[in-house]
Amino acid sequence: MFSQLKPLPTDPILGLMAAFKADTNANKIDLGVGVYKDEQGNTPVLKAVKKAEEFRLANEATKSYIGLAGNLDYCQKMEQLLLGDAHPALLADRVRTAQTPGGTGSLRVAAEFIKRCNDDATVWVTTPTWANHISLFEAAGLTVKEYPYYDYENKGLLFDEMVNALSQIPAGDVVLLHACCHNPSGMDLNAEQWQTVTDIAKAQGFTVLIDIAYQGFGTSLDEDAAGLRLLASQVEELIICSSCSKNFGLYRDRIGACSIISKDASGADVSNSVLLSVVRSIYSMPPAHGADIVSTILASSELTTMWHDELDEMRSRINEFRSLLKEKLNAKCHGMDFSFIERQHGMFSFLGINKEQIERLQKEYSIYIVGSSRVNVAGISHANIDYFADAVAEVTK
């Protein structure tokens, strides 16, 4: 049976990770992989997470299964984190949530849920979007199409084109939106644009799926969820895929959630039964560790405050280096304007250089970025920013 298999290409980012690891250049810089890094280039375990883990180690009383939906306390706290404590959808008992193995697990559960709702649904994603979005939905047997989003030439949004495209999407299809810190472009919708998209969704009748993997990395926990909360207050149905990888630093613990908002409480119960059936057919029950950590932090005012402070520090560091990177590149790369980097949010931006220049950065300077020119701003530090800016200036002469 296995002799029929053909080798498949390595994921570009995973290939970059391997090449970076093998590089012996002491000045090498990894700007490809999408993880937060501190000044020393490490992805630290948050102090609040350490405290919660100590509590769990001392108090865990069983290793029994935790059920299809996972840790129910975690699910409730994630709903409140995403929507706010007093959101109308929560007060009306219209939300049901399942704990998932990471944000990717959440998206795959959502894909299978969509397939159960409408076998012929098309999922519409932004051009560009996170690379794995397309394969996740296609693996569930769904058709995936793209709608205009990022303006590569002007480093902004193609909002008029986006509105025109969304206005032609029919009921029965699904439109994926990034809640904040758009991966890979860093360009987000503003409040007015969120309202426009909400109005289109209501008029057309398509279902919106929100991917929120970076809450707190843009402006604040509440502001980063403002578009999501607006949409959830005005549409009858919504799918939310969330992740704790970035804002809690729980990358390897694989903890996320899939939340379904239905028209009313009875409809939410029906949706939940289908959601849990999907979970049962994929992985049966989720792992306990990550959800216990998050629920422990959010249940403690002391740990929540500690987490907020650490999240503020990570966000401030990213925003600081967006400003520094703009200044350094504008000063060194004559005739080029990198001001867009400061206007964007989250860890990612497109540098806007071509493939040959990207290859030169890797070959000549051991600077690793993906072929689209997406850079992880969190990979920049005070120690390497001048080396990076000088290298970019050299390859773009």
- Looking at the annotation, which residues are catalytic? 130, 211, 246
Which residues, 6+ apart, have CB-to-CB distance to 72 below 8 Å? Answer: none
Closest alpha carbon to 278 in 132, 133, 110, 141: 110
Q: Quick check: 51 and 36 in contact, CB under 8 A?
A: no
Q: Quick check: 369 and 31 in contact, CB under 8 A?
A: yes
Provide the token pair at 340. Answer: 């867009």
Q: Quick check: 249 and 49 in contact, CB under 8 A?
A: yes
Buried b (16+ CB within 10 A) or exposed e, 220-256: ebeebbbbbbebbeebebbbbbbbbbbbbbbbebbbb
User: What's the gap between Cα 250 and its chain centre?
Assistant: 13
Q: Where are any strands of DSSP class E within the chain?
A: 29-30, 95-100, 122-127, 143-148, 150-151, 156-157, 174-178, 207-212, 238-243, 256-261, 348-350, 367-368, 374-376
- Length of the chain, in residues: 397
Rounded CA-CA distance 159/59 in Å is: 51
Q: Where are any strands of DSSP class E within 213-312?
A: 238-243, 256-261
Closest alpha carbon to 118 in 282, 239, 299: 239
Rounded CA-CA distance 347/275 in Å is: 31
User: What's the gap between Cα 55 and its chain centre?
Assistant: 28
Sign of CA dihedral 383, 22, 135, 152: positive
